[in-house]
Amino acid sequence: MKRDFLTLADFSTQELKEMIESAIKLKEERKNGIFRKYLENKKVALIFEKSSTRTRVSFEVGVAEMGGYPLFLSRNDIQLARGESIRDTARTLSRYVDMVMIRTFEHERIEEFAKFASVPVINGLTNEFHPCQVMADIMTIYEKMGKYEGVKLAYVGDGNNMAHSLLIGCAKFGIDISIATPEKYQCLQDVVEKAKTIAAETGAKIEITNDPFKAVKGADFIYTDVWASMGFEDEAEERKKIFIDYQVNKNLLEATGKRTYFMHCLPAHLGEEVTEEVFESEISIVFDEAENRLHAQKAIMKWLFEQIDN
């Protein structure tokens, strides 16, 4: 049966844990030079309407390492740039390839693509969600803590696609999460309510606040992202003034009251959302997260193909 990977809300906690377990195994095998051909002879189209470093390289390498063939397609490489509809693109590519990953704008675009595609579709990023990144983040958290429950993550900054996916992801895995954003940059209320509904089943605690020092109290991990995501560059200077009190610095880290890891999805703007002192410190695990994009995405692709085979 075809399954799409659009948001973490579409999967059970057990299914997501299976993917993390698989990612950890794939990572260990890679270190030992073992590359199993789970995607042998599979063609995976990688559509990029937004530029990328980690998403592009990790998916291309991941497909190749599992024996598949990655096809990089920028917006200008295909007819989307000339007005061909999402639905027609989906139906056409489904005749050529076995899976599609898309990095795009409005989440509705990928939902429409998945509706008309007859092959699995993976969300490489939309304006509202970034589920592949959060799977890598949660894998990293598990590697550091050896557990999910009883762990607290604090997110400080813009209520963007990362905040949304962390809310859903933490709720699914039973990880406590506190989100601190400026008042006019809060997470979408429907995402918050969805996360609270999930948390009621897993026991995760969710806190939404405008106070970063309140949010980080007792946190095992502090997470942040750029203050002006792609598409909001024209607001960058204005946002610097609004978000200055949400910078992750030494004072904020000390407010946790414990040893706390620093996380970031990258790229980072040092001196803005995080100081260089914190970013380059021993508690920074940002490049562990970046590496785990490869392993988590390999596990996601493997799992999705297994659903078709079953």
Q: Which residues are catalytic?
A: 103, 130, 133, 225, 265, 293
* Residue 127, annotated as binding a ligand: no
Q: Which among 286, 298, 283, 290 is positioned nearest to 28, based on CA atoms? A: 298
Element (H, E) at 13: helix 13-31
Per the structure block, which two tokens stand in for 77? Answer: 């490489």
| Mode of pairing for the β-strands spanning 261-264 and 176-180 | unpaired
Per the structure block, which two tokens stand in for 310? Answer: 């079953």
Per the structure block, which two tokens stand in for 203? Answer: 């026991």
* Residue 170, annotated as binding a ligand: no
* Residue 52, annotated as binding a ligand: yes
* Residue 229, annotated as binding a ligand: yes
* Residue 131, annotated as binding a ligand: yes
Element (H, E) at 268: none
Backbone φ, ψ for residue 291 (5° rounding):
-60, -40
* Residue 109, annotated as binding a ligand: no
* Residue 288, annotated as binding a ligand: no
* Residue 297, annotated as binding a ligand: no
* Residue 230, annotated as binding a ligand: yes
- The H helix count followed by the E strand count for the chain is 12, 9
* Residue 161, annotated as binding a ligand: yes
* Residue 53, annotated as binding a ligand: yes
* Residue 14, annotated as binding a ligand: no
Asked whether the beta carbons of 119 and 142 are under 8 A apart, the reply is no
* Residue 95, annotated as binding a ligand: no
* Residue 245, annotated as binding a ligand: no
Per the structure block, which two tokens stand in for 296? Answer: 């988590």
Q: Which among 104, 175, 180 is positioned nearest to 144, based on CA atoms? A: 175
Other CB atoms within a 10 A radius of the CB of residue 234 amount to: 8
**Alpha carbon distance 76, 19 (integer Å):** 33
**Alpha carbon distance 77, 56 (integer Å):** 15
Name the binding residues for L-ornithine. Answer: 161, 225, 229-230
Annotated binding site: 52-55, 79, 103, 130-133, 161, 225, 229-230, 265-266, 293
Binding site for carbamoyl phosphate: residue ranges?
A: 52-55, 79, 103, 130-133, 265-266, 293
